[in-house]
Structure 1
Amino acid sequence: MVESNDRKQQLDKDLRSLSANLPALRDIAAKKASVVARQSGAGSYTVGPIPVNLGAWQLLQDILKFARELARALRFAPSFDAEFVFKGTLRHLDDLLARPDAASVCEIAHEASKRLSRHLEPPPAMVMIGKCLDLDCRAELWCGEDDLASGWTVCPRCGRTTSVHEVQQLRMVEAATYGVQGTAADISAMLRDQGIKVRRQTISQWKNRGIIQPVGQQDGKPVFLVWDVWKAMNR
């Protein structure tokens, strides 16, 4: 009974944390590259802004997926937003804990709450470079300057020693999939947040030397694909 009560109290705490902090995560994940006008054979057209804080954006997607699964399990209306789902679930904890997958639900809620808190209050002088490459782990990897300088980091969950460059490259592949783009200053700032250092002036020089090509303009400034910048860094 004591263990059951402890589990219920922890789940209650985690769901309240998710509900309270999710709006702040939405703000972080909504940090976007500016709208740009791209040229095509039929003229110019507008491209909508794309998330550039990939870590926060991916965490947001994971939490929203968890909320949808909770809503289906408790038969909530599918139109409810995630914050409402987490609040509503607090009134059905006993029903949720009676399910055969209750342990899994509690584990997911606790892990999501911890990840969210870490994004809102990151460790001092550390950046989240991506996720562990072990497909059975996929823990977030936070690195300090020593890790970045050495090129290696150790996963705090599974203990795997991982190449920083490989983790960053996987993140850049994700960025390519989303079509992330921005001005030289935008991209420099975004990459810096992920432990990748490239100066705005360097990106502009690559453009002048024909190493990368702009895909549009924003307020008269060239806009580049993040993937093109990454390829130029590793050519």
Structure 2
Amino acid sequence: MAIDWNDFFAPVWLSLKVSLIGSILVFVLAAATARWMAKRRFMGKSLLETVLLLPLVLPPTVIGFLLLMLLGRRSWIGEAYEWFVDSPIVFSWIAAVIAAVVIAFPLAYRTMKAGFEDVDPELEKAARVLGANEWQVFRYVTAPLASRSLVAGFILGFARALGEFGATLMIAGNIPHRTQTIPTAIYVAIDGGKQDLAWAWCIAMVLLSFVMLLLANGYSKR
């Protein structure tokens, strides 16, 4: 069976767009949260960290259902969003980004937090004594020393977002050329007997994931 390359590339480009936007959002959110959590001790910290890491162990379909209830057209968030932009959140590519962010956040957060915890606090304290403000301390001391973990967290978050299936299917659906990502496209192709197309998407996923992990491993050894 000949492969329709238009059908092949549509999920690839959408997956790359969703994963890139999602991983950028995850990087910002995870870095800020990990930095804050790594440097503070307070009552209930273990409970909060458990909540942050919960998506790491929950089935993606459970996360997708919870997001559907939170952002659906009958929820106040969904109604407010639709009132502002005249379009629902669910079953849109933005919903796929939200699913990717929620799924990828715990992995990036855990990786980045380990990097921030390894930074010697005496070096940060010395920078403050020399007159640096908090932003300068983070930019010139903390971030360079934790750069391996930050880059690894971004790359792993991107790879996790790229492979997301269950939550994306629940909240964004599987609409060709609109919300269909590579994992959902593979599922439909196999179900429809299009094995050549499924093989092509599987190879694309393996290559993209391989490149991401290769970059992460290569940077961590620098």
Point out the structure with the larger helix share: 2
- Coarse TM-score class (shorter-chain normalised): under 0.3
TM (norm. structure 2) is: 0.27
Rg bigger for which structure? 1
Ranked by relative contact order (alpha carbons within 8 Å, sequence separation 6 or more), the top structure is 2
